[in-house]
Structure 1
Amino acid sequence: MSPQQIGLPWPELNDGLTYKDVVSSSDSELTTVSDYYYTKYKSSAPLLGWIQRIQNGQIQVDGEVVEDPNTLLRSGSKLVYHRLPWKEPDTPHLLDILYQDHDLIAFNKPSGLQVLPGGLFQQRTVLTQLQWCFGESHPVPVHRLGRGTSGILLCAKTKLAKTKLSAYFAEGTSLVGSGNMGQECGTVRKISKIYRALASGIVEEDEVVIKQPIGVARYPGVAKGLYVASSEGKPSFSKVIVLERDRQRDCTLVKVEIQSGRPHQIRIHLAFIGHPLVGDPLYVAGGQPKSVDPDLVDATTTPFAQDGGYRRPNQAVPGDCGYHLHAHEVEIPNLLDTHKVVKVVAPLPPILQTSYLAEEEEEKGLSSFKLS
């Protein structure tokens, strides 16, 4: 393994999960253990699924395993639910180091690797690799990239760096919709983020500014809702610049600068203007998912899996891969000397290189950072 990489192979099964709860006085009134879990965690399993988990011996009440779903609970009871280990989907495990100093480390995250635990991916994440490779004082991601998105992921090595970097990302988003659009109004934003993407269809304009708000809609299999283009959503801003048009393959290579950091923003914005990312399994023209049927969003109708939980929905979900989106460049102030700028560049995947500059861009990718 290159000294500029970190990462350990994943074990066959993860360690499972443990969830702890304390029964409150309002919850305990004539409540059984099965009713408690079904009422509080409906998105995890239907009632029959929770009964199955209890009968499997996966739940403890005050340190004792209970297998009777009708066991009554009392106020103050301590509950523990053990989710059984499972094999997570195949996932890359290596991270390239692009830049690091006393406060900051920047990685080139591969497509297919999730940043933080969620859904099926509880162990196979960037966070786990950081814990394994750096120990207790491991760096912490200060922003997210979608599982299918590759490129620059910034991680803080100190508490002060985490505070500052998180503030930089939050500030850039807060400027949008406040009447102060960064450099357009004379204010210099502290962080600049440039992506490279492959959009479907031919974007005829050389430059497109997208200000479509992004909100949340109900969607099967996504408990907290799916981010979509919505007039009732939060302000968002993307600047799209065309780099190359491929009329034979009916796609457009674009550079995208975002001045806000809404979840799935680039995927939604490009889809909103009629050019969803090539290979995107979820978003289609208009910035909406491929299929949303209000009559099908009740997860309680979904058959449950062997461990009692819901099966993966048939519809695409946000973490699905297949699209081409790369966090290519990031510029931030040097945390020790804000008069200097740290610029980090992640080498481009071949499919996101312009045909006439492929060799030159490949050479530039070998120089991963610049301090000015």
Structure 2
Amino acid sequence: MGIGYDRACSELVYHRLPWNEPDAPYSLEVLFEDDHLIALNKPSGLQVLPGGLFQQRTVLTQLQWRASRQSSSLMHQETHPHPVPVHRLGRGTSGILLCAKSKLAKTRLAAYFADGTSVVGSNRYSDACPCKRRKISKIYRALASGILREDEVVIMQPIGTVRYPGVAKGLYIATSSGKPALSKVDVLERDVQGNYTLVQVEIQSGRPHQIRIHLSFIGHPLIGDPLYVTGGQPKCFDPEFVDESFAQDGGYQRPVNPVPGDCGYHLHAHQVVLSHPITNEEITLTAPLPSILRTRDETEAIK
């Protein structure tokens, strides 16, 4: 790394060490698009925003390339800003990702998400129908380890952060000192022989890694989750010893312990219902299910 400073031009130049990004999917299916909003079907393995090991192979970069190609024939490109994601999905999570194409849409969609999170724990929340008063609701499919006995489970476990190697801003975990979070889990199918449960999860709030944390908190972490274990805590973690040697050269060395961006679990943002940020029209978006997250009846119906 080298830093040069030219007093005459007041120019600061940063030369970082080269790095090679890991492979990532290069496919973004468009589920819906108009002048203000674009909804994508994000594949598992593709990171939403630059960070850590991924700086170019991200959803944001692909959106920028796509917008540049579309606007290359226009004289006033500044009137066509690049779309930006208004929320995040974990790198290993697939499914619906909402992106704003205008400043007004971005502001209103961000308010939708913020309002839903603020409802949790307040008097506006109703156990019977947690999402009726919201302008956006999100439904996921997930494959949880073990057999959930109840057909329906409402999880209200706060989520906060702890220092953790490989995660600069801290790792989100289940903790009583965290912020309120709510997930409504419905069992779709149980496989006793395989010892797993196919579930549908509707989230009232939108804390990072909420579904992974909540299901692991109740003793049913996602099948293949490399990070979270029973109790909503990370595996391979000693709070008394945080080795930060991974942070050399901006953190682009691969951390030794599992980190949130690692893949292997099965979680899919299957459906989103929202009020259009400009027209207020109700829109229902659905991302096709991966085969492993379909019920037996859904699989048979496709054949």
Task: Provide TM-score, normalisation by structure 2.
Answer: 0.90
Q: Superposition pairs for residues 38-49 of structure 1, below 5 Å?
A: none
In the comparison of the two structures, how many residue pairs are matched? 290
Question: Does the alignment pair 1:105 with 2:46?
Answer: no
Equivalent of residue 152 in structure 2, options 171, 189, 207: 207
Shift of 1:350: 0.2
What one-letter code is carried by the residue in structure 1 that aligns with 2:275? P
Aligned partner of 2:14 in structure 1 is 81
- Provide the C-alpha distance between the structure 2 equivalents of 1:303 and 1:259, rounded to a whole number of angstroms: 35
Aligned partner of 1:348 in structure 2 is 289
Shift of 1:102: 2.3
4+ aligned runs moved over 3 Å, structure 1:
77-80, 182-187, 307-311
- Provide the C-alpha distance between the structure 2 equivalents of 1:145 and 1:186, rounded to a whole number of angstroms: 20
Shift of 1:101: 1.9
Aligned partner of 1:160 in structure 2 is 104
Q: Can you list the C-alpha shifts for 1:295-352, whole angstroms capped at 9, x where unaligned?
A: 32141xx3787x69673221100000000000000001123432x3100000000000
Shift of 1:223: 1.6
Aligned partner of 2:228 in structure 1 is 283
- The alpha-carbon distance between structure 1 residues 332 and 314, as it changes in their structure 2 partners (threshold 3 A), is same
Question: Does the alignment pair 1:358 with 2:299?
Answer: yes
- Provide the C-alpha distance between the structure 2 equivalents of 1:152 and 1:130, rounded to a whole number of angstroms: 15
Aligned partner of 1:46 in structure 2 is none
Tell whether the 8 Å contact from 1:180 to 1:187 is kept in structure 2 after alignment.
Answer: no
What one-letter code is carried by the residue in structure 1 that aligns with 2:287? A
- Provide the C-alpha distance between the structure 1 equivalents of 2:88 and 2:147, rounded to a whole number of angstroms: 29
Tell whether the 8 Å contact from 1:92 to 1:110 is kept in structure 2 after alignment.
Answer: yes
- Provide the C-alpha distance between the structure 1 equivalents of 2:183 and 2:246, rounded to a whole number of angstroms: 39
Q: Partner of 2:110: helix, strand, or coil?
A: helix
Question: Does the alignment pair 1:170 with 2:114?
Answer: yes
Question: Unpaired segments of 5 or more residues in structure 1?
Answer: 1-52, 65-76, 364-372
Q: Superposition pairs for residues 137-152 of structure 1, below 5 Å?
A: 137-152=81-96
Larger Rg: 1
- The alpha-carbon distance between structure 1 residues 247 and 100, as it changes in their structure 2 partners (threshold 3 A), is same
Q: Which moved more, 1:178-187 or 1:145-154?
A: 178-187
- Provide the C-alpha distance between the structure 1 equivalents of 2:33 and 2:257, rounded to a whole number of angstroms: 40
Equivalent of residue 222 in structure 1, options 167, 170, 183: 167
- The alpha-carbon distance between structure 1 residues 60 and 288, as it changes in their structure 2 partners (threshold 3 A), is same
- The alpha-carbon distance between structure 1 residues 174 and 87, as it changes in their structure 2 partners (threshold 3 A), is same
Aligned partner of 1:260 in structure 2 is 205
Q: Partner of 2:296: helix, strand, or coil?
A: coil
Q: Partner of 2:22: helix, strand, or coil?
A: coil
- The alpha-carbon distance between structure 1 residues 238 and 298, as it changes in their structure 2 partners (threshold 3 A), is same
Tell whether the 8 Å contact from 1:198 to 1:252 is kept in structure 2 after alignment.
Answer: yes
Aligned partner of 1:192 in structure 2 is 137
Shift of 1:274: 0.1
Question: Does the alignment pair 1:337 with 2:279?
Answer: yes
Tell whether the 8 Å contact from 1:198 to 1:352 is kept in structure 2 after alignment.
Answer: yes
What one-letter code is carried by the residue in structure 2 that aligns with 1:258? I
Shift of 1:185: 7.5
- The alpha-carbon distance between structure 1 residues 216 and 186, as it changes in their structure 2 partners (threshold 3 A), is closer
- Provide the C-alpha distance between the structure 1 equivalents of 2:246 and 2:197, rounded to a whole number of angstroms: 40
- The alpha-carbon distance between structure 1 residues 203 and 290, as it changes in their structure 2 partners (threshold 3 A), is same
Tell whether the 8 Å contact from 2:120 to 2:180 is kept in structure 1 after alignment.
Answer: yes
Tell whether the 8 Å contact from 1:111 to 1:150 is kept in structure 2 after alignment.
Answer: yes
Shift of 1:113: 0.3
What one-letter code is carried by the residue in structure 2 that aligns with 1:174? S
- Provide the C-alpha distance between the structure 2 equivalents of 1:185 and 1:116, rounded to a whole number of angstroms: 29
- Provide the C-alpha distance between the structure 1 equivalents of 2:28 and 2:165, rounded to a whole number of angstroms: 32
Tell whether the 8 Å contact from 1:200 to 1:278 is kept in structure 2 after alignment.
Answer: yes
Superposed CA RMSD in Å reads 2.1
What one-letter code is carried by the residue in structure 1 that aligns with 2:179? K
